[in-house]
Structure 1
Amino acid sequence: MTHQYLSRSEVKAQAKAQLHEPGVFKNMVLANLIPWLIQVVFYFLMMGLLIGMYKSMLAINGSGADAQTAILHISQSRSAEVQKQSLIQALISLWFTQGVAITALDVYRGKLQQFNPLKAVFRLFNSRYFFGVLLLAIVSRLLIQLGSYIIVPGILLAYGWSQIYFVFYDGRERGPFGVFQALGVSWRLMRGFKLDLFVFQLSLLGWYILEGITFNLFNLLIDPYLQVAKAGFYENVRQYQADLQTQQ
């Protein structure tokens, strides 16, 4: 029997149901503690850079060509610093964030009722996953960056490869599984479901806005739901596609 493709509401309802299991939400919050601290630290570092840029611009007197050149130089310099900080944050938090993400996938699947939050956040720090996750991040970022120069292909690549870490995790659980295999499987998996993912993300927009207006301080309580819901989207598509292939 083919897996029924669940609606967005059904996926999110199942995510909430799994989080309501005894101890699950608390453990997900604790598992998110390290990624959250990294996010908050870098958020305030970036805010400091932006405030410093604003003050430097205010300190420039005049409105002539020299003043405009100075403002442009400050703006470019600070923007480069912000991009550098973003890259460093992404690299530092990569394994922690994805470790929690695949834990969220196991939670959605009902495989974890009780788990050790510390083990969850460090579960990718081993030879099976560590370097593969790093290569996935580098290769996908470079290819998406190249595609972004053409705008639309860059967006398509980002959505087509949006599930690479889940795919890599599932592949490595079964045996040897390479980075480019993960890219290929994710691309095939998302064929026909990119718009579904976009709409699914829109349905979570209110939560992201709430995180933004609270300066990321309450992400620790919000992220567990978002992580399990996003894992649910992957699992919903994966099961549906797998059942279709079985019938063919």
Structure 2
Amino acid sequence: MKTRGELKAEVRELLAGNWGKAILLNIIPILGSLVVGIIIAFLVALIVFLINNGVFSGGETTINETVNSSASNSGRSFISGLIGTLITTGIAYTTLDWLRTKNNDFSPVRGMFSIFSRKYFVPVLVLYILQAIFTFFWSLLFVIPGLIKTYSYSQTYYIYKDVNEDNDNNSLNYLDYITLSRELMNGHKFEMFVLQLSFIGWWLLVLVSFGIAAIWVYPYYQTTMSAYYKNLAGDKFINYRG
């Protein structure tokens, strides 16, 4: 397994001279970051204006309003999370192939929406729902167990891709992919956490630049996550039959 520095060096070498293609591949999450950045900038300006003009005043919220708002937010969060997962998984699959073949002759748009196909859409949807259910129940035991399970399940989509790349005759069911991810991440969850934490400076740059830095940071981060799986799993799950 490569070190964090070696993984990032591998990614920077891949992206060198290919940033335009990488940015196009990640354009939807990048635009999402830019929109959020614009909203944050607007809210900051609005809050400063309201404070300066003494407009803030207290208000009352009923219990029913709070409950209804919470339920509505949960539903929106699930849907937005699903859409985001479908798109980012397509990006992850494309970057994984790119890392393995070093071949940049691919369509960024087609790669970004590759999950929306007969081969991947329903399986990724089912895996997303199963992981959401399991993570929810683990989270009932407080936040930390749910967070740990998020890392345990983090390689599920990659494993599904590898197993089914050229093999439709395996004996695995959907729960098996989650189990394989959990087994793969045994002893590596903290390692992945530290890898993600090493990007905190970059994400702070995205924040202070109101999303502009995401143009470079998001492709760098996403490709590094794919490189992590590639180096951790190797060819173990390619055409795996169970």
Which interval holds the TM-score relative to the shorter structure?
Answer: 0.7 to 0.9
The answer as to whether partners of 1:49 and 1:82 remain within 8 angstroms in 2 is: no
Does the CA contact (< 8 Å) of 1:42 and 1:89 recur in 2? no
Unmatched runs of 5 consecutive residues or more in structure 2: 237-242
Task: Name the SS for the 2:157 alignment partner.
Answer: helix
Q: How many angstroms apart in 1 are the aligned matches of 2:117 and 2:75? A: 27
TM-score normalised by structure 1 residue count: 0.77
Question: Distance in 2 between the 1:83 and 1:39 partners?
Answer: 21
Contact 2:41–2:210 (8 Å) recurs in 1: no
Distance 1:81 1:144, change over 3 A: same
CA distance in 1, matches of 2:222, 2:26: 10
Q: 1:41 to 1:71 in 2, by over 3 A?
A: farther
Q: Does 1:175 align with 2:170?
A: no
* 2:204 alignment counterpart: 209
CA contact (8 A) 2:152 2:182 kept: yes
Cα distance, 1:106 vs structure 2:
1.7
* 1:159-190 C-alpha deviation (Å, 9 max, x unpaired): 11011111111112032354222101111110
Match of 1:157 in 2: 149
Deviations 1:116-171 (A, max 9, x none): 11111121111110011111111101110110111333222111101111111111
Q: Distance in 1 between matches of 2:165 and 2:34?
A: 32
- The RMSD of aligned alpha carbons is 3.2
Q: Is the 8 A contact 1:159 1:190 kept in 2?
A: yes
Matches within 5 A, 1:42-53: none
Contact 2:12 2:220 in 1 (8 A): yes
Aligned length: 226
Does the C-alpha gap of structure 1 residues 212 and 42 become closer, same or farther in structure 2, counting only changes over 3 Å?
A: closer
Q: After superposition, what is the alpha-carbon deviation per residue over 1:99-125, rounded to whole angstroms, capped at 9, x for unaligned?
A: 111111122223432211111112111
Counterpart in the other structure of 1:27? 21
Distance across 2 between alignment mates of 1:213 and 1:75: 31
Gaps of 5+ in 1: 61-66, 243-248
Partner residue of 2:90?
99
Contact 1:99/1:124 (CA < 8 Å) preserved in 2? yes
Q: Report if aligned partners of 1:160, 1:191 keep a CA contact under 8 Å in 2.
A: yes
Tell me which residue corresponds to 2:10.
14
**CA, structure 1 residues 147+47, in 2 after alignment: closer, same or farther (shift >3 Å)?**
farther
TM-score (norm 2): 0.79
Q: Indicate how the Cα distance of structure 1 residues 74 and 216 shifts in structure 2: closer, same or farther if over 3 A, else same.
A: farther
More helix by share: 1
